[in-house]
Amino acid sequence: MTQNNNRPYQKGAQKKPYHNSKGGTHKPNIRSQSNDKNGVDVRIGQNFPLTIKRLGINGEGIGYFKRKIVFVPGALPDEVAVVKVTDVQPKYIAAKVLKIREKSPNRVKPLDEYADEVGGFELEHMNYDAQLAFKKDVLVQSLEKFQPRGWSDYDLRDTIGMDNPYEYRNKAQFPVRKIGDQLSVGMYKRSSHDLVDLPVVHTQSPATMKVLRTVRELLDKLSVSIYNEDKNRGTVKTIVARVSHTTDEVQLTFVTNTDGFPGDKALIEAINSALPEVTGIFQNFNPGRVSLVWGEETIKLWGKDYIEETVMGKTFQLSPRAFMQLNHTQMSVVYEEALTALDLTHADKLVDAYAGVGTIGLSLADKVGEVRGMEIIPEAVDDANINAKINHITNAHYEVGTAEELFPKWQSEGWLADALVVDPPRTGLDTALRREILRTKPEKFVYISCNASTLARDLVDLTKAYKVDYIQSIDMFPQTARWEGVVKLTRRNN
Ligand code: SAH
């Protein structure tokens, strides 16, 4: 459910910050021409006008050139654009906009001027209402494709958006490199290793940006060793700043190539006087040219071990690696929606599947008899159990393991779930879990999904025993194409 790094217990974990998956297809193609079976003759570099029909699930414009599908990032439905072909594949053409001839009324000027260069801003050129409508449409496209039972009659509720669809990311995780004389802290251009220095990022919380930009100046001023990828030498690779929505405290982590950190004392002193909001400073050691951002070992250099975040009245302690949704405001909306949809009673036994640090189950623990949750990352499970203690919750327990193993195991041991909430990563539910759900049919069932496509696929199975009461889309990631939703399912009588 959150983007942009390799935190282990994260939905849709991606290897590089803000790299969008679509960009990966735009490789230079040695075939300059493709005559496919439909006889579409098109070359890389060729220009033509194109009418955009709709947006694809990654937010890119879709048009047809002689009936072959063309993907054009940055183009909007009903626009006519002159496009230039960047790739030709048997099944599709990729192209970029040269000129918009007829503009969509939904087109707006992106606040982030580099929005079309780096990933994470796929929809910033579209007004927010149109973005919300698009997110509902993504769901429709996925349901149309998989056609789960009764799909055309589902109650698909309008996407819940944000009052301010900017400044929502509570964590910034940006690589640091020296480019010539300039110290850059920012994001990579799509499918490249060119780092763009980003003084302002409108989707990030201003607190995280302030810390990153100030730390950048201090690194420069104190001539702290910066990682050089070509030579595989130097120290600081990535800076991570995470702000607590609840306390405004910021946790700062330096991911380093070396296990030593020359100059750290002076740096910490300078940070202490320039940034009183930073209450804990950490070093994560991740040597060498690796695609994962975080290494295994994290040590505290200074300050507090945790920042604290409040979620639905419960307190969660977050160490640098502990997972928390990136958008606190919308996360609360998702949990509230899940709570409403579950309609719990004090007798219920609730399963919190794909639990992370237990935010969902612990938020709901005082509404039910008992909570059990499972999660594959041991550190997250430790955090979940610690979070239960901090909040004096005695009826919740988390175990390490997969949902597909532990859910059937508990049932076979006679611990029968009355209520089930699943919050899987983008891959959706494992077949074995779907089978067990169909066999045991918990009465109350809510599916929180971050991928409309795997949700629609899973519903093909799940609707054998359940009907879909409604699907509530929630915009967790404004300005991006990412979809999130809560599905209320009710057991069928037949
Ligand atoms: N519910 C949490 C976390 C959701 S992210 C929250 O709202 O914050 C999805 C989680 O599922 C990740 O923490 C991931 O580590 C975990 N996961 C992935 N595959 C799993 C599986 N097969 N069984 C259980 N958990 C899994």
Task: Please indicate whether residue 310, judged by its CB atom, sits closer than 6 Å to ligand 1.
Answer: no
375 lines ligand 1 (CB under 6 A): yes
Catalytic residues: 450
Nearest to 356 by CA among 293, 230, 226, 450: 450
Helices of type H across 237-365: 264-274, 328-342, 359-364
Confidence of residue 30 (pLDDT cuts 50, 70, 90): very low
**The residue to which tokens 């414009």 are assigned:** 61
In this prediction, residues 309-319 reach a mean pLDDT of 94
The residue whose CA has the least distance to atom 11 of ligand 1 is 354
Q: Which atom of ligand 1 is nearest to the CA of 335?
A: 7
How confident is residue 37, by pLDDT bands cut at 50, 70 and 90?
low
Instruction: Please tell me the predicted confidence (pLDDT) of residue 294.
Output: 95
Share of the chain above pLDDT 70, in %: 92
Calculate the alpha carbon distances from 479 to 122, 157, 170 in Å. 6, 20, 15
Judge whether residue 2 has pLDDT over 60: no
Asked if residue 1 has its Cβ within 6 Å of ligand 1, the reply is: yes
Backbone angles phi, psi at 177, to 5 degrees: -145, 155
Q: Choose the weakest-confidence range: 115-129, 328-342, 466-480.
A: 115-129
Q: How confident is the model at residue 338 (pLDDT cuts 50, 70, 90)?
A: very high
- Of all residues in the chain, the percent with pLDDT exceeding 90 is 86
CATH class of the domain whose range is 171-305: mainly beta
CA of 453 to the centre of ligand 1 (A): 18
On whether the CB atoms of residues 95 and 83 are closer than 8 A, the answer is: yes
Give the model confidence (pLDDT) of 172-203 as tens digits: 999 999 988 899 999 999 878 889 999 999 99
Residue 192: predicted pLDDT: 84
pLDDT category of residue 494 using cuts at 50, 70 and 90: low
At 236, the pLDDT band (50, 70, 90 cuts) reads very high
Which residue is listed with tokens 């804990």? 280
Of the pLDDT bands very low, low, confident and very high (cuts 50, 70, 90), residue 38 is low
CA distance 358 to 364: 10
355 CA closest ligand 1 atom index: 1
371: CA distance to ligand 1 center in Å? 16
Q: Which ligand 1 atom sits closest to the C-alpha of 430? A: 22
| Residue to mutate (ligand 1; options 375, 409, 451; most atoms within 8 A of CB) | 375
Distance 145 CA to ligand 1 centre (A): 26
Q: Is the pLDDT of residue 19 over 80?
A: no
Is 60 exceeded by the pLDDT of residue 7? no
For residue 382, the CA-to-ligand 1 centroid distance in Å is: 14
Binned at pLDDT 50, 70 and 90, residue 334 comes out as very high
Does residue 472 have its Cβ closer than 6 Å to ligand 1? Answer: no
Q: Tell me the pLDDT band of 230, cut-offs 50, 70 and 90.
A: very high
Q: Which CATH superfamily is domain 134-163+327-491 in?
A: Vaccinia Virus protein VP39 (3.40.50.150)
Q: What is the mean pLDDT of residues 11-22?
A: 36
Q: Please provide the average confidence, as pLDDT, over all residues in the chain.
A: 92
**Ligand 1 proximity of 429 Cβ (cutoff 6 Å):** no
List, in order, residues 6 or more apart from 76 with CB less than 8 Å away: 52, 55, 61, 104, 106, 107, 125, 126, 130
Q: What are the extents of the domains in the chain?
A: 7-121, 134-163+327-491, 171-305
Q: Is the CB of 332 under 6 A from ligand 1?
A: no
Tokens, residue 212: 């990153």
Its CATH class, for the domain covering 7-121, is mainly beta
pLDDT given for residue 36 in this prediction: 54
**pLDDT for 259-275, tens place per residue?**
999 999 999 999 999 99
Residue 51 β-bridge partners: 80
- Sign of the alpha-carbon torsion through 107, 103, 118, 21: positive
Mean pLDDT of 21-25: 37
Mean local confidence (pLDDT), 224-228: 97
Q: Which amino acid is at 459?
A: L
Common-topology check for domains 7-121 and 134-163+327-491: no
CA 69–ligand 1 middle distance (angstroms)? 35
